[in-house]
Amino acid sequence: GGFDVKVEDMSAERSMLALQGPRSVELLSPLVNADIASLKYYFGCEADVLGVRGIVSRTGYTGEDGFEVILPNDHANKLWETLIECGASAGLLPCGLGCRDTLRLEAAMPLYGHELSEAIDPISAGLSFVVKPQAKDFVGKAALLAKPQPPARQRVGLVLAGRRIAREGAQVLAGQVDIGEVTSGTFSPTLEKPIAMAYIERAAAILDANVEVDIRGQSERATIVKLPFYRRAK
């Protein structure tokens, strides 16, 4: 529409590091030429990080305070090494996707391909606050408004009674009736119990109600709980 715009995919030339935890502001601020302590959650800015231009956002996928930093690949390595060195005395530790997935599940953050998909709309996922159908137009609004409301299924949290972990696709039952399925499950180090998120029939989504989860042919009792499983202190 008349705009002089050039779109260039630079994904392969950039890396992202996530620094997460209550001391993330303290550790990252000395390395950035911007007031990131004042940055609101879900906001970002361009800034020099160790003297190199990048993007710093107060975002993450752990349920904790923190930042995600996007830099050219070579400089991302330098930031990694600097953070590991400077953060050692503060207890900073490297972690991978397994750790991140446990944290995001404890925080009940939906993951695309599990709690989110082309077949699952934001209202079913409990994310109506990000679309606001009554507000201005947005991509997909007409399709969203055409769906029956309230949705037939809703996302719930499950805490399992035993030690077995309910994985994606495990069937959730009330008595002998199939009421839904698990989308993500793991062992929660915080609760010291297996936890899961699932989509179940709305009529069955009653807090503190007991259901059964079919884990590889064996039934495991679970309790429906309020999400998130864990909420960080403000």
**DSSP readout, 61-78?**
SSSSSEEEEEEEHHHHHH
Question: Tokens 């695309």 sit at which residue?
Answer: 112
Residue 154 lies in a domain: yes
Alpha helices (H) along the chain: 24-28, 73-86, 97-106, 141-146
Q: 177-188 and 171-174: which strand pairing? A: antiparallel
Which of these, 52, 53, 24, lies nearest to 39 by C-alpha position?
24
Average pLDDT score over residue span 182-203:
98
Residue 159 lies in a domain: yes
C-alpha–C-alpha distance, residues 138 and 19, integer Å: 32
The DSSP secondary-structure symbol of 54 reads E
Find the CATH number of the domain harbouring 157: 2.40.30.110
**Residues 189, 190, 196: CA angle, nearest 5 degrees:** 75
Residue 131 lies in a domain: no
72 preceded by cis ω (within 30°)? Answer: no
Average pLDDT score over residue span 117-130:
88
Amino acid at 174: A
Residue 163 lies in a domain: yes
Residue 5 lies in a domain: no
Residue 197 lies in a domain: yes
Range of weakest confidence among 9-23, 140-154, 173-187: 140-154
Higher pLDDT, 131 or 24: 24
Q: For residue range 7-59, what is the model confidence (pLDDT) as tens digits? A: 999 999 999 999 999 999 999 999 999 999 999 999 999 999 999 999 999 99
Mean pLDDT over the full length of the chain = 95
State which residues form the domain around 160: 148-225
Q: In this structure, what is the dihedral angle of CA atoms 75, 79, 82, 83, given to the nearest 10 degrees?
A: -170
Percentage of the chain beyond pLDDT 70 is: 100
pLDDT of res. 135 = 74
Q: How confident is the model at residue 1 (pLDDT cuts 50, 70, 90)?
A: low
Q: For residue range 75-93, what is the model confidence (pLDDT) as tens digits? A: 999 999 999 999 999 999 9
Q: Is the pTM of this model over 0.85?
A: yes
pLDDT of res. 132 = 78
Question: Tokens 């309790």 sit at which residue?
Answer: 223
